[in-house]
Amino acid sequence: MKMGYKYTKKYTKFNIYSNAKELNLILNDEKLSMLKGKGNIFSLKVKGDLENYTYMYEIIFEDEKYISIDPYAIACNANSQKGVIINPKKANIRNFKRMKNILPLDSIIYELSIRDFTLDAKNKGKFLGVIEKKQLNYLKKLGITHVQILPFYDFSSNSVDELDQFKKYNWGYDPENYNIPEGSYSTNPNNPYTRIIELKKMIKKLHDNGIGVIMDVVYNHVFDAQTHSLYKTVRKDAFRYNDDGTYSNGTGCGNDIASENSYISKYIVDSVIYWAKEYHLDGFRFDLMGILDIETMRKIRQELDKIDKNIIILGEGWDLNTKLDSSLKANQNNANKLENIAFFNDDMRDSLRGSTFDKLGKGFVNGGKLEERLLNSIKGGKFLKTYISPNQLIQYIEAHDNNTVFDHFEIVNKNISERRRLKLQSIATSIVLTSQGIPFLHAGQEFFRTKQGVENSYKSSDEINKFDFKRAKKYSKYVKYISELIKYRKEEKLFKLDSFDTIEEKFDLLYKQDNVLAYSLDKKIYILVNTGNKNINIKLPSGKYKLEFSDFKRLDEIIEIKDNKYELSKDNFVILKYI
Ligand code: CA
């Protein structure tokens, strides 16, 4: 049975699951008692056209009663005060459909926040701002295939007041209503239709321009356990508890969702499928996926496959201390049980740019001697964790969390000139874009985004968090370079090999020392990296090559290598193609 409500002009039928004793529907101000049927489902059919009625539930347990919004609500008024009944037909827009998705391995993901990205749009801080000319053109020019957008489900009004959006800043990792878009991103949070329609317009326009949309979903915890609708409907079944009765807190947010409980598991699966179908989303990024259980994640994969096998699932598969058996956690250590689900590869991040948690963390490009470890990532992760396919690796060095690479280098590599640091950072991004697996960029990484050294900017100012188009212009040479490299990756199949066996067969390591790496793919593409401060001779097969990239430029020169000798200049990332 479908939870939530079914609307028609003649009647509306309500269903809600709860282990309560008694349950009443509050329709506008009228209280109507619900009938308890099989399997703890309370139902009621109410005659008449109920469009725009508000509805809430009074949920009565032996010892307590609650007034709650429907966990399955799909529309609400401003600041999630009350659920609202809408006519689904009126929430549709013309010609909105699924985009034909490419293989996850062919994707290049770009992570942005609606607010940061639209601060100088006409529709400032709104869904519609993302698709204004300047914003959309930037994405198109860069050439990424998917945007991954920071939370846009309804998050807490304690974080952002929907009626006074710019008073406070917040990323929104504090879920309130899982199936409703966030109201502050709409031009009229009071009208329950507006946020739905404007979000659809944004997704449609991105689709029309060949860009997929990945939704950042946060099913691992809620803003406030005791006041959340899931708690009010199933109480203790909603969260995990320690032996002493306190909330399990592996998330660090105060409460871990008990995804292993059948109702919560079904709820999460239903929610993902609802977004995939109603909003035609192209992927889901699971925040702290390591909190969730394997079976729920597998079920999500299974159900999404029925819609489109190419819908990307990725997540933070950290091993977190939550009250769940280690063998059941959807984390990196259990990657072999999570086929076609990808994980943020912190191993690449740490070995390439230096650990984000170590203030002095250095990686391959900035003085660390980690080429051996980095190679495992570049080759798609065969010897890392329990990965079974390169499509399980999200290759990245920067995301919304932690210091940006620019800020990290500023702390760790003070002795290196800024000019040189920009080159080293661009080399790191180049390695991300030429590795096996799925590359992921944080918006602005290509122009050395800075958050002025603020490590956790989740509630910092717009000034700290803004996507700075002026800075993009200032470093347009590097932005152009990254966009050329993106284009090149899209066209070159050798960067997207789909099995460890094929990678072993095609990958030849040519040179490896502290600051230098050189390898070939199928003896055709040669990648040469030098992050040291001096030129170095590399042994390459003699013959004619196309010099595709060097000195952070796309080139198209034919060169000839004689006596197996190629001089690789300092601080350079080179791609040669044997012809
Ligand atoms: Ca909200």
Per-residue confidence in pLDDT tens, the chain, 579 aa:
899 999 999 999 999 999 999 999 999 999 999 999 999 999 999 999 999 999 999 999 999 999 999 999 999 999 999 999 999 999 999 999 999 999 999 999 999 999 999 999 999 999 999 999 999 999 999 999 999 999 999 999 999 999 999 999 999 999 999 999 999 999 999 999 999 999 999 999 999 999 999 999 999 999 999 999 999 999 999 999 999 999 999 999 999 999 999 999 999 999 999 999 999 999 999 999 999 999 999 999 999 999 999 999 999 999 999 999 999 999 999 999 999 999 999 999 999 999 877 777 899 999 887 888 999 999 999 999 999 999 999 999 999 999 999 999 999 999 999 999 999 999 999 999 999 999 999 999 999 999 999 999 999 999 999 999 999 999 999 999 999 999 999 999 999 999 999 999 999 999 998 899 999 999 999 999 999 989 999 999 999 999 999 999 999 899 999 999 999 999 999 999 999
pTM: 0.98
Distance between first and last Cα of the chain: 61
**Which of 282, 316, 350, 548 does the annotation list as catalytic?**
316
In angstroms, what is the span from residue 296 Cα to ligand 1's centroid? 26
**Which of 70, 256, 287, 468 does the annotation list as catalytic?**
287
- Which runs of E-coded beta strand occur in 430-571? 438-442, 507-513, 516-521, 525-530, 536-539, 543-550, 553-561, 565-568
Asked whether 130 and 114 are in contact (CB, 8 A), the reply is yes
Provide the phi-psi class of 452: left if phi over 0, else alpha when psi is between -120 and 50, else beta. left
In angstroms, what is the span from residue 346 Cα to ligand 1's centroid? 31
Question: What pLDDT sits at residue 240?
Answer: 97
Residue with tokens 């803004």: 466
Asked whether 457 and 464 are in contact (CB, 8 A), the reply is yes
In angstroms, what is the span from residue 280 Cα to ligand 1's centroid? 22
- Calpha distance 13→88 (Å, rounded): 14
The crossing angle, in degrees rounded to 10, of helices 371-378 and 418-434 is 40
In angstroms, what is the span from residue 374 Cα to ligand 1's centroid? 41
Residues with CB under 5 A from ligand 1 (ion): 154, 157
In angstroms, what is the span from residue 365 Cα to ligand 1's centroid? 41
- The DSSP secondary structure of 82-103, one letter per residue, reads SEE---GGGG--TT-----PPP
In angstroms, what is the span from residue 195 Cα to ligand 1's centroid? 11
Question: What pLDDT sits at residue 513?
Answer: 87
Question: What pLDDT sits at residue 514?
Answer: 82
Please give the DSSP secondary-structure letter assigned to residue 458: T
In angstroms, what is the span from residue 161 Cα to ligand 1's centroid? 7
| 293 part of the active site | no
Question: What pLDDT sits at residue 358?
Answer: 73
| 176 part of the active site | no
In angstroms, what is the span from residue 122 Cα to ligand 1's centroid? 22
Asked whether 153 and 179 are in contact (CB, 8 A), the reply is yes
Q: Which residues of 456-480 are buried (b: 16+ CB within 10 A; e: fewer)?
A: ebbebeeeebbbbbebbeebeebbb
In angstroms, what is the span from residue 75 Cα to ligand 1's centroid? 11
Give me the amino acid identity at 227: T
In angstroms, what is the span from residue 157 Cα to ligand 1's centroid? 5
In angstroms, what is the span from residue 159 Cα to ligand 1's centroid? 8
Distances in whole angstroms, Cα of residue 368 to Cα of each of 354, 417, 533 = 7, 17, 14
Asked whether 572 and 530 are in contact (CB, 8 A), the reply is yes
In angstroms, what is the span from residue 153 Cα to ligand 1's centroid? 8
Give which of 216, 260, 268, 223 is closest to 241, Cα–Cα: 260
In angstroms, what is the span from residue 66 Cα to ligand 1's centroid? 21
Count CB-CB contacts under 10 A for residue 225: 17
Asked whether 304 and 273 are in contact (CB, 8 A), the reply is yes
